Chains A and B, each alone.
Chain A
Amino acid sequence: MPQRCCQYAGWQLPSLTEDYGTFCRLRRNDCGVTAVHISLKVEFGGGLELLFDNQRSHKLTLPARVPLDNSTSSPPSSPPSPQNNEYEGETKPVDVAYLIHWLRHHLLKERAELFMEGDTVRPGILVLINDTDWELEGEGEYVIKNGDEVVFISTLHGG
């Protein structure tokens, strides 16, 4: 059944991703089948959008289980499928730490040092999960759920 989930989604059609999210949630709830992908919304603000093709809002679909070491080697252009999700090493549920690495490797257009420092976002970037400071939600360890919204904003200093 997970294969059908992907076919239903229509990976290249963002307008369908919400239906897809609902579908996966229904499957998980009704049949006990765990969704293989998670849909979420990501937003950038405070100037960070400039690093991401000057686009503030992005709809993403990520694998539900991801490598423990946050490696994001699968190319972004290929549709996620159960096949290329069969990662050999240890996995974990997709979390914000993975999302940050994924964004850096697949969505970021320039100057990675303005987005990340070490294993996390650089100082001065605030991460919000569903309009709440991520520090209240477990920071990078927060497990992303279908339909979540994650916002990255850079602090402003001008006046």
Chain B
Amino acid sequence: MSAAGLNHLDDYQRYGRQMILDGFGLPGQVALQNASVVVVGAGGLGCPALQYLAASGIGRIGIVDHDVVELSNLHRQILHTEQRVGMPKAESAAEAIRTLNSKIKINIYTEALSALNALDILSSYDVILDCTDNAPTRYLLSDTAVALGKPLVSGAAQKFDGQLCVYNLNNEGPCYRCIFPKPPAPEHAGTCEETGILGTVTGVIGTLQALEAIKLLAGMHEGKASLLIYSALGVPPFRSIKLRSRRPTCPACGQEGLKEGQIRDTDYVAFCGGGPPDWEKKGMMQGDPGLRITPTKLNDILASEAASHTKILDVRPRTEFGICHLWESINIPLKELSANPTTTASVLEDGVKEVYVVCRLGNDSQIAADALRALRRDVVVKDVIGGLKAWSRDVDPDFPVY
């Protein structure tokens, strides 16, 4: 077989349907066969990306992920299975794509990508896919891609929306820092757990990331920097944005440039204003016993005579209240309560002497209780430590956790 051919005879049959495409051909398939792609994050974006990259015949694929598979991942992280809950995601995804394509080489990295290891891990690949879920890693990946002179195919998704962009395209295009020089505050960068995500939305963006990688490797990319914005509910759902060119003063790709050593010395989490808040831990803080109550104690009160003059106020959004709620609770979302505290305070009838405020994890309930306390000094207002998640854990195991 000639040097420019495929490694196995049956590969011609396997990849024939894409090889007969004009502009792709045998050279396109050979390029994929000899290529290497690393996917950082084997979650909602990484899974569909890995699936298509493996199926398309990329020679070597790297998978970087330090998380383990959880049940709440399965609606969108389609390579993981019920049987592999608890397994490291990188291993689970590798197992899935190995079944799909036994001939490709797979490298697994189960450690977290950090400023110290990013250059070493990513340097041996041709294209880097950013399928991560947090701002610090996105800046780290962008800086590393620029330092290594590699294209970074970046995807993001939240709720019904997605975004796709190739940074450092041909070592000429803008990097992530050029477009977003200042990171948002961590509390403004919501996660899928907090804000929700429709599974197929990550599927759309992750699949497009694989497509961009294939176009880059097969020499079919138009070479213009653009940002694709996807909104599942929008009409039309896709919008392509012409992006600025590189920022000459960009600390990563600008004239001064960034030395590799500088990446290792950068604290990306601090640069982004600290890590994501641990809402579950924050919600569990005991606080002043006069202001907060444990689920167990609330349960005791509800079983006592005091129940007759007690009200439970659930301040979660209406949609979440609709999933599950304590049967005796009323729902006034924090948003409405903050906008109209006086109306909320007046909802409580005269006979009510105690109000217990509850939410998902015990954070919003503290804000709501504070607001209510200021308006109704005649009523005892406390909020539930750890929210409904703690209620399920400590009082009623049959109460759903979502």
Q: Residues of A with Cβ closer than 8 Å to B?
A: 45-47, 56, 109-110, 114, 122-124, 126, 128, 131-133, 135-136, 151, 153-159
In the bound complex, residues from chain A placing their C-beta under 8 Å from that of B181 are 123
Cα distance, A128 to B228, chains bound together (Å): 12
Task: Give B196's nearest chain A residue, CB to CB.
Answer: A158
Chain B 208-244 near chain A by CB (<8 Å), digits 1 or 0: 0000000000000000000101010010000111111
Cα distance, A158 to B184, chains bound together (Å): 13
Find out whether the CB atom of A159 lies under 8 angstroms from the CB atom of B132.
Answer: yes
For the A-B complex with A123-B182, A155-B156 known, give 7 more contacts whose Cβ atoms are closer than 8 Å: A122-B184, A124-B180, A126-B227, A131-B241, A157-B134, A158-B191, A158-B192
In the bound complex, residues from chain B placing their C-beta under 8 Å from that of A122 are 184, 188
Interface residues on B, range: 35 or more
Cα distance, A156 to B133, chains bound together (Å): 9
Partner of A159, one of B43, B184, B241: B43
Find out whether the CB atom of A135 lies under 8 angstroms from the CB atom of B131.
Answer: no
In the complex, B281 has a CB within 8 A of chain A = no
Counting from the closest, the 5 A-B pairs by CB-CB distance are A124-B184, A123-B182, A156-B156, A158-B158, A159-B133
Chain B 159-174 near chain A by CB (<8 Å), digits 1 or 0: 1011100000000000
In the complex, B44 has a CB within 8 A of chain A = yes
* Residue from B43, B159, B188 whose CB has the most chain A CB atoms within 10 Å: B188
In the bound complex, residues from chain B placing their C-beta under 8 Å from that of A135 are 244
Find out whether the CB atom of A156 lies under 8 angstroms from the CB atom of B158.
Answer: yes
Partner of B184, one of A131, A153, A155: A155
In the complex, B190 has a CB within 8 A of chain A = yes
Cα distance, A132 to B161, chains bound together (Å): 19
Find out whether the CB atom of B188 lies under 8 angstroms from the CB atom of A158.
Answer: no
Find out whether the CB atom of A159 lies under 8 angstroms from the CB atom of B229.
Answer: no
In the bound complex, residues from chain A placing their C-beta under 8 Å from that of B199 are none
In the bound complex, residues from chain A placing their C-beta under 8 Å from that of B180 are 123-124, 126, 155
Nearest CB in chain A: distance from B360 CB, A: 18
Find out whether the CB atom of A157 lies under 8 angstroms from the CB atom of B156.
Answer: yes
Find out whether the CB atom of B241 lies under 8 angstroms from the CB atom of A128.
Answer: yes
Find out whether the CB atom of B132 lies under 8 angstroms from the CB atom of A156.
Answer: no
Cα distance, A158 to B46, chains bound together (Å): 12
In the complex, B3 has a CB within 8 A of chain A = no
Cα distance, A158 to B73, chains bound together (Å): 13
Task: Give A131's nearest chain B residue, CB to CB.
Answer: B241
Chain B 177-211 near chain A by CB (<8 Å), digits 1 or 0: 00111111000111110010100001000000000
In the bound complex, residues from chain B placing their C-beta under 8 Å from that of A45 are 161, 229, 231, 234
Find out whether the CB atom of A133 lies under 8 angstroms from the CB atom of B44.
Answer: no
Find out whether the CB atom of A157 lies under 8 angstroms from the CB atom of B189.
Answer: yes
Nearest CB in chain A: distance from B67 CB, A: 11
In the bound complex, residues from chain B placing their C-beta under 8 Å from that of A155 are 156, 163, 180, 184
In the bound complex, residues from chain B placing their C-beta under 8 Å from that of A136 are 242, 244
Cα distance, A11 to B243, chains bound together (Å): 35
In the bound complex, residues from chain A placing their C-beta under 8 Å from that of B151 are none
Find out whether the CB atom of A157 lies under 8 angstroms from the CB atom of B242.
Answer: no
In the bound complex, residues from chain B placing their C-beta under 8 Å from that of A56 are 231, 234
